[in-house]
A and B are shown apart, each in its own frame.
Chain A
Amino acid sequence: MSNTEQRRGFLKAGSIAAATGFVSNLLGGNAAAQHPILNSPSPTLPDSPTLNSEYDGFSRFKPSRGLDPDSDYYIGKLVPGFRKASDGPAPFEAPDVPKMPYKMDGGVKVFELVPMAVEQEFHPGVKMNVYGYNGSMPGPTIEVTQGDRVRIIVTNELPEDTFMHWHGFELPVQYDGAATLTQNPIKPGKTKVFEFDIHEEGTFFYHSHVAMQEAFGQVGWFIVHPKKVFGPPVDRDFGLLFQNFHIPPTHTISDSWAMDWNWHTINGKSGPYTTPLVCKHGERVRVRLLNFSPMQHHPVHLHGHTFWVTGHEGARIPKSAWVPRNNELVGVAQASCFELIANNPGDWIFHCHMVHHMMNHMVKQVGPRIRDDASVDQYLANLSSRPQVDASRSAKFDVPGYPQKMQGMEMSSDFMKAIWSRKEVRGMRANYPMSVKGLMTVLRVLPDDLYDLVMNSDQDVEKGAVFAEIVRRFGDPSKYEAAPKMMM
């Protein structure tokens, strides 16, 4: 049993809680979190001649830049992850998106892909009607290695023609899938086989080449790992696939003709139902971000870190051309690779910066929700006769522009239960679902023990406890106010 496994076992049994004391704070109430506890566990490095805590003034364990912009380690540029390059590529992980299994046939990886109508749960209990593949939207991830030969058997279960396009591949033209330019449609119920060699590496995707089917959700990852793993090695390889839909109120079918978009999904979920990306303090993290919105470009912003843009969908960028950024504009049908050293523990929001994409189905803030003492329930209680409107305007209306803050977001207890049922969110602040909306997710950077507590233990973790513990260790606990719990 390795050390890690042993610790995992302890955590599951809860014995370490008693041993260290801090977990009991997490479990039994976070009052003690207000009091600094000295000697918080300091990060340890595995035994390795190549790994350091600090490179030319850049620390992998605390926010820092380094000393020289021309250094290879400036803002963690070439700081390696904990993983050894010889272990091969880090596993690709797109939360909420399944992977597509394959069978080997001789030297060929054989995938079966089925275009179909899909019911996709954007929010807990909010099941939208879209198109996808193999019962999923986005479709399941195809993951191969540079040099593989793939055979993809596509069976169309849609009631209409479709075309399959392998976006970015330099393949024989007959398999390109451009509608009728290169091939006939795949008729409903019919099968077409695509087979080609993959000499590229990078972030690719497959999608229908029928415009409205694309807008209706038909896309999936096609990840090709390099045959020779690029340095520096990364510990995490996350995928975030952004899509937009317009779904009218009271409806579940997206209007693929719309020019306006009111539901935004990351890997098929809308914030706060998007699953946080969880990594360990000090790890090297890659995020591949694909924008498959029909019409909207997304300036994507990560808090608390500066990341390097190391590749686009076409190919990895030579290191000399990498750029450090806080915000990267990802255009329609573009994919960008962000790489960073997770040196700043905490829950960091990761979101599109277009304000209309920071919430779902934005509505005008007028009516009962901004009026004193008025509630929609009063209207619903008696449909035959509506309540008298209160025409009095409070002093707030003396401020031109009031109100700008969105109000009246309804979150049912079932909704909250589903949000908090995922292990990735354990110990986050009680009000986190109020802030993560639309095209938003969270990058959680956790010290090892907290990572294990969140991701590997079976213990109940009080809301806000992990966050408070991070503040206690790395922040200014005396100035910290816990979130009001209320109904969360």
Chain B
Amino acid sequence: MFCTAASAQMPSVDSPASAIGRTFTPPPPMPSAPYGLEQLDPSGPLFPGARIDGSDFGGTPAPVYVDGEMIAEQFSMETEVQGYRLEDFLTLAAQNNPTIRQARLQISAQTAKALQAGLYPNPTLNYIGEQIGVDVEGDKDSPGEFQGMTVTQRFVTAGKLKLSREKYMRRAHVSEHLAMAQQFRVCNDVRIHFFRALAAREIVELRKELLKTAEDSAVTARELYNQGQATRPQVRKSSIALQRARLDVLSAENHYRESFRRLVAIVGVDLTDGVVSGDLMPQGEPLSYQEAMSLVLTESPELAAARAKLAADRVTLSREQVEWVPDIVAEGGAGYNFEAKETTAAAGVSIELPVFDRNQGTIRQAQLDYRRQQEEIRRTELMLGQQMANVYQQYLTALQIATEYDRVIIPEARLAYQELLESYKANRVDWPTVLDAQMDYFDSRLTRVQHLEQVRTNEVLVRGYLLHGGLMAAPGPTPPGHIDAVAKPR
């Protein structure tokens, strides 16, 4: 028993004691870079192996002094590259987005229909040979009692053609509003994707700053290790943080490329790569909910289209109300009467008696359609209100957060970082504390950009009547392929 207990505490021969903490072991190496990091920015982030031995790393350049003043290094990309601005993309989209052209074609289609609907019916030329072969005096198998030509003309009553034309003109009007809506859809989408790309680009820059901080933390951990002030697990932790920061840069880069490609797709041009430039911070006063709602209720093209459609439906009703008024079909002509052996005339008038069919069913249908459209206006208002409730909430929340990051949090984080740098310079604070503050500062700028992206995308919707989806087919006043596509619309 004693022997067993004693041997249990003896170190096993099979597992030699760990060297950790018994003799000096160099700090764990920096992890190697993930796939794709080298392709991104060869001048930027730390590449282990390439630099850890110091052989091909020139070191941080010494600051440049001119007249005793240090010249700040320029890092802002705006000053290096003049990128595409929002206006450039809007202009390109107006020229190249197919749905804008589709929408304009819808208007033309409706005016063409109106033209067709208002055309007066053509006269009909008839040849008439009656009672061919009848025996007449002196002629057996005569050419007939009457051989001649008549012209039949339908006289349209009750202004049916005018009403039909008006009806389709009003539908063209609906299409004009819908085309306006489509233009907003495209422009809003361009704006939204532009701001997303802009935010993505700024996030890439900030992720690179955070990567530099993570690199510094990894270097600092190894410096601390060499002074017995950090353990091996702490150094490993810094490697983990470094690798995560590298992956964050890669994700941000990938996300930026995605945003740019989506933007280019909406614009409708083939741009492979590029830089966007602009300002994420909205200029001007924020919009109140009342302003946003009254704007959308008074100016929404969708709502205008719905109202125009109501007007078109009213004309449709008027048109159907006169449909039962009979047209007068008159016929007249001249021929030769082989029986009487003289030239005779023919005349006829026909009129349909609205005894059974007074178009009452269609009138009823048109009335119901009209009332349905009244409800459609209300439905559209309510739907816009519901969407606005959601979008405005996101806009307001993001604006509040971004504004306070801009006004208080980032300046405070910046001052904290600056004060700690000065304190480090005065030999009063440790470098890891400065790095923490640096990370807080860069991280708060990252959060600001993320919320500004939300502000801008939602602001575009709030100001742009909630319209988006710039690559959806432009809708017409009626669905495409509708039965109205027949030759003589009414």
Contact = CB atoms under 8 A, between A and B. Distances in A.
A365 B61 CA distance: 22
A410 B441 CA distance: 25
B409 to A, nearest CB: 15
A383 interface: yes
Most B C-beta atoms less than 10 A away, residue of A365, A376, A390: A390
B339 to A, nearest CB: 110
B432 A364 contact: yes
Given A391-B46, A401-B228, A383 B414 contact: yes
A410 B430 CA distance: 15
Contact of A250 (B48, B63, B212, B423): B423
A3 interface: no
Contact of B70 (A363, A367, A381, A408): A381
Interface string B431-471: 11111001001000000000000000000000000000000
B30 A364 contact: no
A30 to B, nearest CB: 31
A169 to B, nearest CB: 40
A402 B59 CA distance: 20
Contact of A389 (B212, B427, B433): B212
B229 to A, nearest CB: 6
A377 interface: yes
Contact of A402 (B54, B55, B220, B226): B226
A397 to B, nearest CB: 6
Nearest to A373: B59
A364 B421 contact: no
Nearest to A412: B426
Contacts of A388: 44, 46, 60, 212, 215
A18 interface: no
Interface in B409-426: 414, 417-426
B428 interface: yes
Interface in A385-402: 385-394, 397, 400-402
B371 interface: no
B219 A389 contact: yes
Given A381-B72, A392-B51, A372 B224 contact: no
Most B C-beta atoms less than 10 A away, residue of A364, A368, A388: A388
Contacts of B429: 249-250, 363
Nearest to B221: A366
B28 to A, nearest CB: 13
A250 B70 contact: no
B211 to A, nearest CB: 10
A384 interface: yes
A372 B227 contact: no
B356 interface: no
Contacts of B57: 390-392
Contact of A410 (B63, B227, B427): B427
B216 interface: yes
A380 interface: yes
A50 interface: no
Interface in B188-204: none
Contacts of A361: 427-428
A380 B72 CA distance: 9
B426 to A, nearest CB: 5
B421 A365 contact: no
Contacts of A403: 227
B227 A390 contact: no
B249 to A, nearest CB: 14
A182 interface: no
B425 A410 contact: yes
B223 interface: yes
A379 interface: yes
B75 A376 contact: no
A398 to B, nearest CB: 9
A361 B55 CA distance: 36
B73 A385 contact: yes
Given A383-B414, A385-B75, A391-B52, A373 B227 contact: no
Contacts of B432: 364, 366-367
A365 B424 contact: no
Nearest to A392: B54
A364 B428 CA distance: 10
A421 interface: no
Contacts of B51: 391-392
Contact of A370 (B59, B223, B414, B428): B223
B52 A368 contact: no
A380 B417 CA distance: 9
Contacts of B422: 250, 376, 380
A391 B75 contact: no
Contact of B434 (A367, A370, A378, A384): A367
A487 to B, nearest CB: 15
B232 to A, nearest CB: 13
Most B C-beta atoms less than 10 A away, residue of A249, A372, A394, A401: A249
Contacts of B219: 389, 391
Interface of A: 249-250, 361, 363-370, 372-394, 397, 400-404, 406, 408-410
15 contacts: A249-B429, A250-B428, A367-B424, A373-B59, A378-B60, A381-B63, A381-B73, A384-B76, A385-B73, A386-B209, A392-B55, A393-B52, A397-B223, A397-B226, A410-B427
Given A364-B431, A366-B224, 11 more contacts: A250-B428, A364-B224, A366-B227, A366-B229, A376-B422, A381-B63, A384-B76, A385-B75, A391-B48, A394-B54, A401-B227
Interface of B: 24, 30, 44, 46, 48, 51-55, 57, 59-63, 70-73, 75-76, 209, 212-213, 215-216, 218-220, 222-224, 226-229, 414, 417-435, 438, 441
Q: List 4 tightest A-B contacts by C-beta distance, closest first.
A: A392-B54, A367-B431, A385-B75, A249-B429
